[in-house]
Structure 1
């Protein structure tokens, strides 16, 4: 039942079932803990995850690799790197999953050099890398702009590690080159692949084209994705963003029409934060939270302070042809800003604020949260659909390379 709820994305129901099982006096085994920890990880419920961890310690399952790996993944997905590292060290017999989880965790947090140190330690320990390991290695290089290192690892996969690159490895390399603005090299790599490019590869190229403003290439990549995955809402949004940034409002309208004709609904963005074992969820312009008046008043105060620090709203990101003042208003109340504001107001000053978002954080919110971290003197950890961002004293761990 716990696993079923978790697989259906009903994570709170899964955790309620875990509590009920414990209250009924049923014996908790490795599978029970693994499913419960996975649910905590997916909703980033760190405090609940720590409580499940405590139960695992009492039953003696903590240091085994099965539950240990689940704990390791939970701490990483909840944005708690130090506790993830401690858990990794505590696992008595590390298997390939332990090493891969550690490597991928550092990669997703943008700590590429630490990820590569884990890879080196893994090799020294005599653990043979597999396909998943190399995806983690290449992702680490991509997230931190280690182009030469990533290229070296990619071309040594077959010869040194006897691993044949698959579509995921190529997608990582296209991402690595594309982020660095080397779009021609990324296209050449796609042409040289021993199989047809996947939708993921074209989507990666589209994302890179948006970053560097190459509309022609973005349109070509989008056309290929739409043929393979006509219901991929993310690609419609990426191309619309590029058109909006260029002021091509007629094309933005065409993309919306295309989205409707394909019977595709845009996934609504939302953010959430855990406070005292309770998940607080926010949508853009949220008016339903019981603390909404306090949150909005605090955001207004922060907005004034940010402008004194030189903050200017990235109104070009608003996908509507409206006046600048209205665009600023739309950006001011994005879900991640509401969640961050609520976290600052309710979480003790000596603890980090951990906010999760189901979509990618927008550039305006990224810039704003950097400044907010400096103004309030807090560590703010944001997990979006793609990676983690650690904001502190006006700087993000991603180095604005995301």
Structure 2
């Protein structure tokens, strides 16, 4: 059984649509894809995806145990208590197992473990950014070859760094705080563990950092307004669409791709915001809308510019996977008898990983679902 917090999604509004340029129409027909449940457990057993790699390898849980689903169709069982958070193109998976940070090969064999921590993310070369503890005991570092290099702000031994993402150059983006203060500062850390504070245009109560790509571009937000740092200097605000008042990026590592494209929302108001993509260095471009699934919860953009989301008709009774490629919008159905959906991420080739859900109950603030891991291969 899985649960997710009931949140208000981004509503596509006619006002916002009128003020934004649309993506140019693609030259090919819209993509098609059928939902597929990985593994051999059938549709009755609960399962969920937690990560997808660039080659389409997925990881998650099936029944009572964690698993990796390979692109060859093999289900690899991991030890109880394991959770995979990230998968690399080089065939490594990172997460935690039994309270220890763990790196596996995608054949299930263990590469390394470190007690009392978990892997936040991995480079292609196998360097992990790890974290442990909470508040006053929180600590983080770069883990490679059995050694850990702490992430520290020079001259501030009292500051702790909460990492969000690592790029293949070993640079880490995250937030720094003095334990107990709840005042957050965005930081970029070098491969030697030294972290520099990134400036904010103004103090903010809600500061977030989502991703850093291999060019060193850091994506974050300040009170919901998107920011990009390309150096240690002032950030570049994500520009709102014409007629809009704000630009809000999606949270998470897959909101930013290698070439610097960003996905998010812009509009004159929350109930009139529209899903958009900011091409690297360009103005926001509205994503083509669905005529039936007007609510779009964006989840990921890959390095080719494919974008995946969950679309709803507003009732949560008929959700679909929304997929944009080359200016064309496609809608993919869920597994039979399932009406709710999730999207976890995208592979390099556009495989969408997520889940198909059936609502089985709710309490205030939460809705409970029976979920089956699902993927879609656009063609």
TM-score, length of structure 1 as denominator length: 0.32
Higher strand share: 2
Which structure shows the bigger proportion of residues in helix conformation?
1
Work out which structure has the larger RCO, using CA pairs closer than 8 Å and 6 or more positions apart in sequence.
Answer: 2
Query: What TM-score, normalized to structure 2?
Result: 0.34
Query: Which structure has the larger Rg over C-alpha atoms?
Result: 1
